[in-house]
């Protein structure tokens, strides 16, 4: 019986990871080419940063909403609906004949951002202890690693055939993803919430700021989010202006992050990091790794830049997993979907603000977003230290 149950859990993990993987491959396909596509409509650095922010703003609205909704109606229907919305969003971008259509497509995709929140909650649902919860969330990180490994290279190759081809391929992948999830993804929510659901777009920020048990965790998460999004939003333009790289070369650079992330999440997290360090220790260590990585990216020297990319892939992958696991572990069982939605929503809020700041910074100096990002990660380090020294019980709000 136990072995049969373990096989069922393994199958559920495989299906949800495949769902995330297909989504991230699609996301990875368009990251290197979207800025160049926007430039074809006359968009400059600031407008491109607003394109990223529009997606992030609607992710900020949708992630907590869908996380809380999945606590009430189940994980499966939320996943199916949000994946399908992603397909619609990318079809709109692919068919775009003006910049406003590109913005519309990114807004629709932003509204579908609940899929990652729900996928993470799904894996938390089936975890039997803290270690397995972190390992399960690491599988999502592994899917991201593979997606960033394959997606940018595919995107660079597809863009050489046609500027819109990557977007059509991404939309088709999302349709395939929806079909697979429909036929093979079971429901994991055992106990549904029946309290009235209210929608307040500021609720994730309020929850993060007013819940003592996660306050410093979320503060570290905010500075990490600002630093990470600020630097990645300008990445394609930076390597184009600094090193003269094309779409394909930019995709290969993203592959460095993917290789490190994949190795980290599929092997190192379980076999090295989790065995040698606690989650709280990793939450404190990884911001320093990111400080070093961002400083090297800011150097503008190619070989130092490559090392910085590797450190970025290592640090962000571990930090994302352990912080999400820590916060999910502190939350009551009936609130895990909502709380993971808070984590996603706060990151999305950072993603709204960071590109808007990064665009004007980049116009002052191409290196400035990376320098400021390193400083922000140093602040995240101090917040993580404070979190490690603070033990607060979760007090559910009425």
Number of domains in the chain: 1
Whether residue 104 is predicted with pLDDT greater than 90 in this model: the reply is: yes
- Provide the pLDDT confidence category of residue 287 given band limits of 50, 70 and 90: very high
Does 243 reside within a domain?
yes
Q: For residue 136, is it within any domain? A: yes
Share of the chain above pLDDT 90, in %: 18
Res 1 pLDDT > 50 = no
Residue, of 382 and 125, whose pLDDT is higher: 382
Residue 192 lies in a domain: no
8-state DSSP, 202: T
Domain range for 256 is 2-184+204-388
250 is a domain residue: yes
Query: Residue 289 has what pLDDT?
Result: 95
pLDDT for position 398: 44
What are the phi and psi torsion angles at 318 (to 5°)?
Answer: -70, -45
Distances (CA, A) of 308 to 292, 362, 382: 7, 19, 21
Whether 92 is covered by a domain: the verdict is yes
What are the helix (H) ranges across the chain?
2-30, 34-39, 45-73, 75-94, 99-111, 114-125, 130-161, 165-184, 203-210, 215-233, 235-243, 247-263, 274-276, 279-298, 302-330, 336-364, 368-388
Tens digits of per-residue pLDDT, 153-181? 778 788 878 888 888 988 898 898 888 88
% residues pLDDT > 70 (the chain): 89
Sorted by sequence, the CB contacts under 8 Å of residue 311 that are 6+ apart come out as 289, 290, 292, 293, 296
Residue range 57-100, pLDDT digits in tens? 888 788 778 887 888 888 889 989 998 998 999 899 889 889 99
Residue 35 inside a domain? The answer is yes
Lowest mean pLDDT among 68-82, 184-198, 285-299, 379-393: 184-198
Whether the pTM exceeds 0.85: the reply is no
pLDDT at 153: 74
Query: Span 304-328, mean pLDDT?
Result: 88
The domain that holds 248 is classified in CATH as: 1.20.1250.20
In a domain, 199, yes or no: no
**C-alpha to C-alpha distance for 118 and 79, rounded to whole angstroms:** 6
328 touches 133 (CB < 8 A) = yes
Note whether residue 103 is domain-resident. yes
What number is the average pLDDT over the span 268-275?
Answer: 79
């Amino acid at each position: 019986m136990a072995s049969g149950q373990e096989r069922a859990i393994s199958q559920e993990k495989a299906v949800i990871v495949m769902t995330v993987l297909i989504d991230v491959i699609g996301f990875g396909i368009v990251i290197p080419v979207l800025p160049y596509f926007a430039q074809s409509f006359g968009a400059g650095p600031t407008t491109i940063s607003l394109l990223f922010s529009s997606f992030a703003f609607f992710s900020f609205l949708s992630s907590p909403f869908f996380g809380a909704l999945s606590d009430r109606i189940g994980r499966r229907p939320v996943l199916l609906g949000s994946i399908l919305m992603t397909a619609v969003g990318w079809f709109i971008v692919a068919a775009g004949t003006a910049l406003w259509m590109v913005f519309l497509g990114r807004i629709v995709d932003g509204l579908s951002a609940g899929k990652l929140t729900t996928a993470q909650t799904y894996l938390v649902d089936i975890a039997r202890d803290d270690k397995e919860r972190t390992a399960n969330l690491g599988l999502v990180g592994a899917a991201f690693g593979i997606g960033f490994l394959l997606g940018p290279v595919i995107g660079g190759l597809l863009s050489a055939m046609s500027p819109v081809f990557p977007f059509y391929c991404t939309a088709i992948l999302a349709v395939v993803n929806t079909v697979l999830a429909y036929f093979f993804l079971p429901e994991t929510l055992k106990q549904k919430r029946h309290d009235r659901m209210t929608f307040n777009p500021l609720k994730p920020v309020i929850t993060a700021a007013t819940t003592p048990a996660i306050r410093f965790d979320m503060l570290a998460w905010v500075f990490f989010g600002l630093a990470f999004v600020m630097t990645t939003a300008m990445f394609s333009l930076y390597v184009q202006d600094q090193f003269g790289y094309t779409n394909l070369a930019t995709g290969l650079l993203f592959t460095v992050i993917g290789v490190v992330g994949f190795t980290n999440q599929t092997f190192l997290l379980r076999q090295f990091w989790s065995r040698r360090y606690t989650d709280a220790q990793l939450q404190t260590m990884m911001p320093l790794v990111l400080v070093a990585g961002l400083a090297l990216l800011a150097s503008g020297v190619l070989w130092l830049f490559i090392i910085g990319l590797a450190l970025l892939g290592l640090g962000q992958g571990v930090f994302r997993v352990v912080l999400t696991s820590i916060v999910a572990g502190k939350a009551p069982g009936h609130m895990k979907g909502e709380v993971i939605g808070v984590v996603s929503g706060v990151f999305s809020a950072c993603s709204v603000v960071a590109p808007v700041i990064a665009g004007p910074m980049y116009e002052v100096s191409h290196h400035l977003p990376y320098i400021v990002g390193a400083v922000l990660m140093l602040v995240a380090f101090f917040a993580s230290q404070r979190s490690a020294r603070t033990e607060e019980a979760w007090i559910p709000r009425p």
